[in-house]
Amino acid sequence: TPILLWLRRDFRLSDHPMLTEAAASGRPVLALFILDAVAEAYGAAPRWRLEQALAAFGPALERCGVPLVLRRGAALAVLRAVIAESGAGAVWWSRDLDPAAIARDTEIKTALKAEGLEARSFDGQVLFAPWEVKTGQGGPYRVYTPYWKAVRGLPVAAPLPAVTALRPGPILRGDSLAALGLGLPMRRGGAIVAKYARVGEAQAQARLDRFLRDGIETYQARRDFLADHATSELSENLAWGEISPRMIWHAGWRAMQEGRAGAETFLKELVWRDFAWHLMYHYPTLARANWRSEWDDFPWAGDSDAAERWRRGQTGEPVVDAAMRELYVTGRMHNRARMIVASYLTKHLLTDWRVGLRWFEDCLIDHDPAANAMGWQWVAGCGPDAAPYFRIFNPASQAEKFDPEGAYRRRWLAEGNRHAPQTALDFFAAVPKSWKLVPGPALPAPLIDLAAGRDRALAAYAARSTK
């Protein structure tokens, strides 16, 4: 009987355990994507990026002989309908460790098995399954360095070659990609973000090749410099499964064996991604609740006009505004900039980290629920292995240090710059008209004096820790 391959965020042909096994089985297959409640809940930029991923992957799969059928609805109901139409006897998928996906998949597996169908899940999203890495006491890791020490020596299987042919099963009717409406919330911004996005497996591979050729040697020294493209920029493709972490790991490992500077630092960063999934798997409320409950009574402000100015890149703090505009225009943000804007929001503006997390969730084309939640809790000080709250980034000195010539700020800020680059102008073209933003002669006056904001944050922290 045919196998129904349910694709979710694993849009690649290389190193794809499920596809390899399906090809080897010789059984006829059908491929399906379902726009269900889990995917419907993605933010605007992730939805748009999902549409791009599907547009690239559909034809790639078709070249292997199998069309990607698109449907919308409750996942189990759609699976049942497709099973009824096709006579499929098995449903296979690659595991997605997002807690919402786990809940859905567990229920579906039970239901399908109860109906006598084969339901199988495959690896591929992470290097190390969260349940396989355990501390000496048998529990999960909460601190990165021991986690890294535990995994760095573990074997990582070699990546699988790309699947080139699958045996097609019955042809089914599906929706058109446009009918799914994934790109709609990004009406204005989508065309702009498209200039910066790198969609699909070939582009992901090109990014990796470029990084190995020109980037890895300078990675350690330059990765914090905001204007440089000194990092791999692969997070966008990893988020949608357009490249596997295993392929990147092996490339990095080879570079390390060849003694290339930067390679080990790069591998360590890649493993932060796994660590985030490890945390999220074991603490599924990572994106919702303070990891340390003693933070529950911290006097963080909720959403506010100040937070809105932060979202719109109008705080008057140049590096913060530059970074928030980079986010809006490209759907990505430099890692150091993510830390600077998160610290500014949670400390200088004393705003709940979840306000920032939600904006990132809506704007990032590399949105990864685990890395995002870990990142926010880490900066805010309430997460596992977090930076202490009293370590407050001064955005001005961060800018001096990591953007010494101001190239990053000039790239993203048009105010007062008669020769503003296209990147800076793109921001004004991308934002909703209702924001009524035009490049003025200067940035708005700063929302808060940096020293005063710092003192207020420290006072709030001191009041809390004496309780």
Binding mask 361-400 for ligand FAD (x = CB under 6 A): ---x-xxx--xx--xx--x---------------------
Chain residue at closest Cβ approach to ligand FAD: 375
240 part of the active site: no
- The tokens describing 426, both together, are 């793109």
Numbered residues of the known binding site for FAD: 219, 231-235, 266, 366-368
User: 62 near 68, Cβ under 8 Å?
Assistant: yes
β-bridge pairing 90-94 and 3-6: parallel
CB atoms within 10 A of CB 27: 17
Binding mask 222-241 for ligand FAD (x = CB under 6 A): -x-------xxxxx--xx--
d(CA 278, CA 300) in angstroms, rounded, equals 27
Numbered residues of the known binding site: 219, 231-235, 266, 366-368
Only one of the segments 120-128, 153-161, 264-272, 421-429 lies at the binding site for ligand FAD (rule: CB under 6 A); that segment is 264-272
| Closer residue to ligand FAD in complex, CB, 160/374 | 374
Q: How far is the CB of 88 from ligand FAD (least distance, A)?
A: 34
258 part of the active site: no
Non-local (6+) Cβ contacts of 257 within 8 A are: none
* Marked catalytic residue, from 148, 272, 415, 417: 272
* Contact pick of 1, 121, 304, 335 for ligand FAD (by CB under 6 A): 335
| Closer residue to ligand FAD in complex, CB, 98/105 | 98
Taking Cα atoms as reference points, which of 243, 245, 256, 244 lies closest to residue 212?
256
Taking Cα atoms as reference points, which of 311, 231, 310 lies closest to residue 273?
231
**CA distances for 356 relative to 156, 342, 359, angstroms:** 35, 7, 5
* Contact pick of 204, 276, 399, 443 for ligand FAD (by CB under 6 A): 276
| Closer residue to ligand FAD in complex, CB, 79/276 | 276
Inter-axis angle of helices 353-363 and 318-330, nearest 10: 40
Residue 314 touches ligand FAD, criterion: CB under 6 A? no
User: 107 near 119, Cβ under 8 Å?
Assistant: no
| Closer residue to ligand FAD in complex, CB, 6/48 | 48
Three-state secondary structure call for residue 82: helix
Contacts 24+ apart (CB under 8 A), 258-265: 260/216, 260/217, 261/216, 261/217, 261/219, 261/220, 262/215, 262/216, 262/217, 262/218, 262/219, 262/220, 262/221, 263/216, 263/219, 265/219, 265/220, 265/223
Alpha-helical segments (H) within 314-352:
318-330, 335-343
The distance from CA 444 to its chain's CA centroid, rounded to whole angstroms, is 31
**CA distances for 339 relative to 255, 278, 380, 398, angstroms:** 28, 21, 10, 10
Only one of the segments 2-10, 164-172, 336-344, 430-438 lies at the binding site for ligand FAD (rule: CB under 6 A); that segment is 336-344
| Closer residue to ligand FAD in complex, CB, 182/208 | 208
| Closer residue to ligand FAD in complex, CB, 64/340 | 340
Residue 360 touches ligand FAD, criterion: CB under 6 A? yes
CB atoms within 10 A of CB 147: 22
* Marked catalytic residue, from 335, 394, 415, 417: 335
d(CA 404, CA 346) in angstroms, rounded, equals 25
417 part of the active site: no
Residue 196 touches ligand FAD, criterion: CB under 6 A? no
353 part of the active site: yes
Alpha-carbon torsion (59, 61, 65, 68), positive or negative? negative
User: 155 near 283, Cβ under 8 Å?
Assistant: no
* Marked catalytic residue, from 310, 353, 359, 412: 353
* Contact pick of 101, 193, 342, 443 for ligand FAD (by CB under 6 A): 342
Q: How far is the CB of 207 from ligand FAD (least distance, A)?
A: 8
| Closer residue to ligand FAD in complex, CB, 33/219 | 219
Using CA atoms in the order 333, 336, 337, 343, what is the torsion angle rounded to 10 degrees? Answer: 130
Inter-axis angle of helices 44-63 and 201-210, nearest 10: 100
Q: How far is the CB of 419 from ligand FAD (least distance, A)?
A: 28
405 part of the active site: no
435 part of the active site: no
Only one of the segments 138-146, 266-274, 307-315, 427-435 lies at the binding site for ligand FAD (rule: CB under 6 A); that segment is 266-274
Residue 338 touches ligand FAD, criterion: CB under 6 A? yes
Q: How far is the CB of 372 from ligand FAD (least distance, A)?
A: 3
* Marked catalytic residue, from 93, 249, 359, 376: 376
Residue 351 touches ligand FAD, criterion: CB under 6 A? no
| Closer residue to ligand FAD in complex, CB, 104/338 | 338
Residues in the site for ligand FAD, rule: CB under 6 A?
223, 231-235, 238-239, 269-270, 272-273, 276, 335, 338-339, 342, 360, 364, 366-368, 371-372, 375-376, 379
The residues that are catalytic are: 269, 272, 300, 335, 353, 376
